[in-house]
Chain A
Amino acid sequence: DTGVSQDPRHKITKRGQNVTFRCDPISEHNRLYWYRQTLGQGPEFLTYFQNEAQLEKSRLLSDRFSAERPKGSFSTLEIQRTEQGDSAMYLCASSSTSDTQYFGPGTRLTVL
């Protein structure tokens, strides 16, 4: 399967802990996006990379969130000092220059 993959698929953590998610985009897609989706809502944009450069960040992305794409391939999203309000599905998408975004299965985070 050459789609977008995300790891882990589920993460349960205690409030105050740090978590890190990984996204592997479709090979040769130079653009990578992170979104967050809560129950009953559509995905909300968090951040976007073109190759290794982080070109846009949403105001939703607080200081506790950081994303990297060090070699322009996979990306990680870290949440420090998790809060219950961080519980959500974290989605990754990738695209080529066509601007059509293809989504991965998501990582469901539950903060207890």
Chain B
Amino acid sequence: AQSVSQHNHHVILSEAASLELGCNYSYGGTVNLFWYVQYPGQHLQLLLKYFSGDPLVKGIKGFEAEFIKSKFSFNLRKPSVQWSDTAEYFCAVADTGRRALTFGSGTRLQVQP
């Protein structure tokens, strides 16, 4: 069965700091990869996705993620965070033969002004 690990459960940064959130998955086949964000009081929103092609994908609000197949990783990055990035971030994986997403347990990001 698939599983997704997000090793950072709670991250606290100051504004303008750089961000990297780790995501590792266990599945040997072809996968689609996603990062979702949940701002306080709001529903899950898609941040970015990777299906194929260039392993460096850019999403909304200056976020990007890099797919490294050999490491089964899909880490999320942002060079300079803002207070408005305070939210919970979820990595999710779907193997291309199924539709169900498998989510990690999430990383709560707190950005201090």
Task: Check if A and B associate.
Answer: yes
| A48 near B106: Cβ-Cβ < 8 Å | no
A100 located at the interface, meaning its Cβ lies under 8 Å from any Cβ of chain B in the complex: yes
Q: Which of A40, A44, A99 contacts B99 (CB 8 A)?
A: A99
* Stretch in A18-26, A76-84, A102-110 with 4+ CB within 8 Å of B: A102-110
A99-B51, A100-B46, A104-B43 known; A43 vs B103 contact (CB < 8 Å): yes
Indicate with 1 or 0, residue by residue over B93-107, a CB within 8 angstroms of chain A CB atoms.
010001111111110
Interface residues in B, total, Cβ within 8 A: 23
Min distance, Cβ B41 to any Cβ of chain A, angstroms: 10
One of B42, B44, B94, B103 near A44 (C-beta < 8 A): B103
Does A56 lie within 8 Å of B98, measured CB to CB? yes
Residue of B nearest to A49 (CB): B99
- Contacting pair A43 B101 (CB below 8 A): yes
21 contacts between A and B (CB under 8 A): A31-B99, A33-B100, A35-B101, A41-B105, A41-B106, A42-B90, A42-B103, A42-B106, A43-B90, A50-B99, A58-B100, A91-B43, A95-B99, A99-B32, A99-B94, A100-B49, A101-B101, A103-B36, A103-B43, A103-B44, A104-B43
**17 more A-B contacts (CB under 8 A) besides A99-B32, A99-B99?**
A35-B101, A42-B4, A42-B90, A42-B103, A43-B90, A44-B103, A45-B100, A56-B99, A56-B100, A91-B44, A100-B46, A101-B101, A102-B46, A103-B43, A105-B42, A105-B43, A106-B43
